[in-house]
Amino acid sequence: MSLRNIHYGWWVLLLAFLALLSAQGIRLSFGAFITPWEADLHASRSILSFVALMSFIVYGVSQPIVGRIVDRFGVRIVLAGSIFIVGVGTLLTVFATSPWHLVVLYGLFSSVGFGGASGVAASVAVTNWFNEKRGFALGMITAGTAAGQLFLVPFSLILIEAWGWKITVLVLGVGLTVLVFPLLALFLRTSPSEKGMKAYGSEPVTADRKEEENFVSRGGSHAVFLSRKFWFLLLPYFICGFTTTGLMDTHLIPFAHDHGFSATVTSTAVSLLAGFNILGTILSGYIADRWSNKNYLTLLYALRAVSILILMVTHDYVLLMVFAILFGLVDFATVAPTSLLATKYFKHYSVGMILGWLYLAHQMGSALGAYLPGLLFDWTGNYQIAFVTAVIILVFASFASFLLPEPERYERRPNQTETA
């Protein structure tokens, strides 16, 4: 098959993958900078955790807004513009001489870009471009973030070790502004209609579907907040954020350093986690197209609790690697089934709006997961309380997911109220 015969939706998927790899990879590299920033900027662990807290809050609050902006202005403008903001913010970080400079440059400015270059915009692109293999495509989008974790976090660790954190942020910032931004601005497209095409695996648009699409564009949101399904998706996703991008992506590297693991061992563990994260997210999209999404979420949250229990007793190289493999398999794997359930439960609403609220919950969880463990570390000198808390709330998330209904039972229009 020649490149011309490849459906353009796959190119859109590749560009969205690259955008998330770049922006979210830099965001997930925050933990790699904690130790050098502590030394160079005379910052405590709790202050740097506050920087992460601010970043997650800005990121999270932006998600419903991003959903609406994407619905209005399109994926290309949002993703390309956000990548440019992250690149500029990363470049400016080289001038930071105080933790409060990080609050402004990373916690506020760059985090606006992180919010735009997120799964919300990318998921809307997938929804627009894929009727078939949508779960797989959503899994690949999530794998973009995992790939950023795989490549940019170890890359940052190695570059910091060799040249220092200032050279590292310069390299990352130039990569985004000079390489990634132009590609997205030139080639990304929001919907097939911009290329005179139909979505991958699309069927002819019937009168009923036209009416439905028009209704979706009008949208309505108040009924969503009365839905049990919405809250049973949102609360576990909040816990998902607390335990992944909040707790682990912020504190795993300093935890490993505190336990005497070398930079090489820590980098290996992070790379292993990220590699299995990519595998887990790709498999997640494949499984989400074929199995009960709510049962799959139940399993994923339960396995994540088990992985953190393993980390709590980790004192040697082998257990750290076992944790990295298991946690990696379930790390971002929750995104595809959660997104698919949302689009099935609430298919008559704005996709950007629904996903925006879910990502808001995820990032609020991430904010608490980044800040509270750092605060507890300063008080107690370890992460044990944070890990125990994570296990307990993950058990709750698993149970709440189990209580979700199968989506085919719910095909109501938005003007119908839910009694269950």
Q: Is 272 helix (H, G, I), strand (E, B) or coil?
A: helix
**For 295-300, which contacts have Cβ atoms below 8 Å and span 24 or more sequence positions?**
295/402, 296/337, 297/236, 297/334, 297/337, 297/338, 297/341, 297/398, 297/401, 297/404, 298/398, 298/399, 298/401, 298/402, 299/398, 300/330, 300/333, 300/334, 300/337
pLDDT computed for residue 144 by the predictor: 86
**What pLDDT, in 10s, does the model give residues 350-385?**
677 788 888 889 888 988 998 899 889 889 988 999
d(CA 66, CA 402): 30
What are the 10-residue block averages of pLDDT along the chain, 420 residues in total?
75 94 90 89 86 85 84 90 96 92 92 89 86 81 82 89 94 96 93 85 50 41 77 94 90 86 85 88 85 94 96 87 95 89 78 80 87 89 92 96 78 43
pTM above 0.75, yes or no: no
Structure tokens at 248: 């682990």
Q: Residue 418 has what DSSP assignment?
A: P
pLDDT computed for residue 196 by the predictor: 84
C-alpha distances out from residue 76 to 23, 85, 201, 219, 334, Å: 15, 14, 22, 22, 26
Length of the chain: 420
pLDDT computed for residue 417 by the predictor: 42
pLDDT computed for residue 408 by the predictor: 63
d(CA 84, CA 351): 25
Q: Are 189 and 195 in contact (CB under 8 A)?
A: yes
| CATH T-level fold of 3-201+223-409 | Growth Hormone; Chain: A; (1.20.1250)
pLDDT computed for residue 44 by the predictor: 85
d(CA 295, CA 273): 24
d(CA 131, CA 200): 6
pLDDT computed for residue 217 by the predictor: 41
pLDDT computed for residue 203 by the predictor: 56
**What pLDDT, in 10s, does the model give residues 100-152?**
999 999 999 999 999 899 888 888 888 888 888 877 888 788 788 878 878 89
